[in-house]
């Protein structure tokens, strides 16, 4: 091998490793096809609003600067809501707060929020992408931060329900992987709000009206670490039996535990697809059909009326 060929081979290896470390291939990066289906048109948010306009609680000073690589947010310390409202003549009154995955290290909102906006807006569902805090310092408690952001997001949407054409009792949360971990925490850790709070938003309940867990990731925690209860919200769970990152047994355990508590559930299980089985528009197979299953279930439990 001559010197030029050797240097080219080394450069390709470096680019490939760097691409894999960000969750995409060098070919995907070059072609720009790794995050969206063919023909994708990027949706423009109706609004982007800060979650904590009076100051982010428990903010750790000296954290890393936020990054945006391969359409993934990293080192998020200042959380936001990206609001995508359906046309008023289509609005069904249902809202879905979507928590992207990324192992609490980054947020793949490109895959988990943007790719479903048109689909859900067309069915009258308001989509609210939650840009929650990730690991931005070796001193921030990322799980606690993300949970606080999830609770706050539900309160904000409920406080602005009339303004956004949303019914205050049909506000759900959906989470993928680490976002599913956040939503599973939220399904057992909620309150009715503090009527005496100085901040009007904190007076609203942070209990979701329904919960959607997409390949929920245990984050090395046993199911008993999540305080699910009899008044936990109805929950839809999607999981692939060959998922090595978020085991199907964990999803099955969530379903069993909630059923034992008398909570309505729906387990949408597929045999293959792994941890990417439910990337809408990006995969073949049954996993890509989760929207139909979810919408049918939401209609059944009277959380969405767009089907009639």
pLDDT tens track for 161-189: 999 999 999 999 999 999 999 999 999 99
Phi, psi values for residue 7, rounded to 5°:
-65, -40
Q: Is 185 exposed, middle or buried (0-12, 13-18, 19+ CB in 10 A)?
A: buried
pLDDT, average across residues 114-121 = 98
Domain that holds residue 26: 1-34
Phi, psi values for residue 177, rounded to 5°:
55, -110
The total number of structural domains in the chain stands at 2
For residue 175, the model assigns a pLDDT of: 98
Let me know: does 184 contact 232? Beta carbons within 8 Å: no
For residue 8, the model assigns a pLDDT of: 30
- Asked if 155 and 6 sit in the same domain, the reply is no
Let me know: does 206 contact 183? Beta carbons within 8 Å: no
Q: Examine residue 89 and state whether it is found in any structural domain, yes or no.
A: yes
For residue 101, the model assigns a pLDDT of: 98
- Asked if 1 and 61 sit in the same domain, the reply is no
Report the DSSP beta bridge partners of residue 98.
Answer: 129, 174
- Asked if 16 and 98 sit in the same domain, the reply is no
- Asked if 23 and 123 sit in the same domain, the reply is no
Q: Examine residue 294 and state whether it is found in any structural domain, yes or no.
A: yes
- Cα angle 215, 221, 223 (rounded to 5 degrees) comes to 70
- Position 206 pLDDT exceeds 60: yes
- Asked if 100 and 207 sit in the same domain, the reply is yes
Instruction: Write down the residue that tokens 């049918």 correspond to.
Output: 296
- Asked if 27 and 88 sit in the same domain, the reply is no
pLDDT in tens, 212-242: 999 999 999 999 999 999 999 999 999 999 9
Alpha-carbon span 154 to 169, nearest angstrom? 11
- Asked if 24 and 49 sit in the same domain, the reply is no
pLDDT in tens, 4-48: 333 333 322 323 333 333 333 332 332 335 899 999 999 999 999
Let me know: does 73 contact 128? Beta carbons within 8 Å: no
Q: Examine residue 282 and state whether it is found in any structural domain, yes or no.
A: yes
For residue 279, the model assigns a pLDDT of: 97
- Position 67 pLDDT exceeds 90: yes
Q: CATH number of the domain that 149 lies in?
A: 3.40.50.1820
- Asked if 28 and 118 sit in the same domain, the reply is no
Q: Which helix (H) or strand (E) holds 244?
A: none
- The residue among 204, 153, 203, 200 whose CA lies nearest residue 175 is 153
- Asked if 217 and 287 sit in the same domain, the reply is yes
- Asked if 101 and 230 sit in the same domain, the reply is yes
- Asked if 156 and 258 sit in the same domain, the reply is yes
Alpha-carbon span 75 to 245, nearest angstrom? 22
Let me know: does 171 contact 97? Beta carbons within 8 Å: yes
For residue 34, the model assigns a pLDDT of: 87
- Position 143 pLDDT exceeds 70: yes
- Asked if 206 and 102 sit in the same domain, the reply is yes
pLDDT in tens, 38-59: 999 999 999 999 999 999 999 9
Token digits of residue 186: 């939220």
Q: Examine residue 285 and state whether it is found in any structural domain, yes or no.
A: yes
pLDDT, average across residues 84-108 = 98
Q: Examine residue 225 and state whether it is found in any structural domain, yes or no.
A: yes
pLDDT, average across residues 130-141 = 98
Q: Examine residue 97 and state whether it is found in any structural domain, yes or no.
A: yes
Q: Examine residue 307 and state whether it is found in any structural domain, yes or no.
A: no
Q: Examine residue 306 and state whether it is found in any structural domain, yes or no.
A: no
pLDDT, average across residues 119-143 = 98
């Amino acid at each position: 091998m001559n010197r030029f060929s050797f240097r080219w081979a080394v450069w390709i290896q470096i680019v490939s490793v760097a691409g894999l470390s960000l969750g995409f291939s060098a070919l995907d990066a070059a072609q720009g096809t790794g995050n969206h289906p063919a023909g994708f048109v990027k949706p423009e948010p109706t609004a982007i609003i800060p979650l904590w306009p009076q100051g982010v609680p428990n903010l750790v000073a000296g954290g890393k600067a936020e990054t945006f690589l391969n359409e993934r947010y990293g080192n998020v310390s200042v959380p936001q809501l990206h609001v995508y409202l359906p046309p008023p003549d289509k609005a069904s009154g249902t809202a879905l707060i979507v928590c992207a995955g990324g192992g609490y290290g980054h947020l793949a909102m490109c895959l988990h929020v943007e790719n479903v906006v048109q689909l859900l807006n067309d069915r009258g569902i308001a989509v609210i992408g939650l840009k929650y805090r990730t690991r931005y310092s070796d001193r921030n408690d990322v799980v606690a931060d993300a949970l606080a952001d999830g609770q706050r997001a539900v309160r904000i949407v409920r406080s602005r329900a009339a303004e956004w054409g949303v019914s205050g009792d049909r506000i759900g949360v959906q989470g993928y992987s680490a976002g599913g971990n956040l939503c599973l925490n939220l399904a057992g850790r909620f309150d009715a709000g503090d009527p005496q709070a100085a901040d009007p938003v904190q007076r609203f309940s942070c209990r979701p009206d329904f919960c959607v867990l997409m390949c929920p990731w245990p984050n090395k925690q046993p199911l008993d670490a999540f305080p699910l209860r009899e008044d936990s919200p109805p929950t839809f769970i999607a999981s692939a039996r060959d998922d090595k990152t978020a085991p199907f047994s964990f999803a099955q355990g969530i379903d069993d535990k909630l059923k034992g508590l008398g909570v309505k559930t729906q387990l949408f299980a597929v045999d293959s697809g792994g941890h990417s089985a439910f990337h809408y528009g990006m995969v073949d197979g049954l996993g890509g059909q989760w929207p139909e299953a979810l919408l049918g279930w939401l209609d059944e439990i009277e959380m969405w009326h767009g089907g009639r």
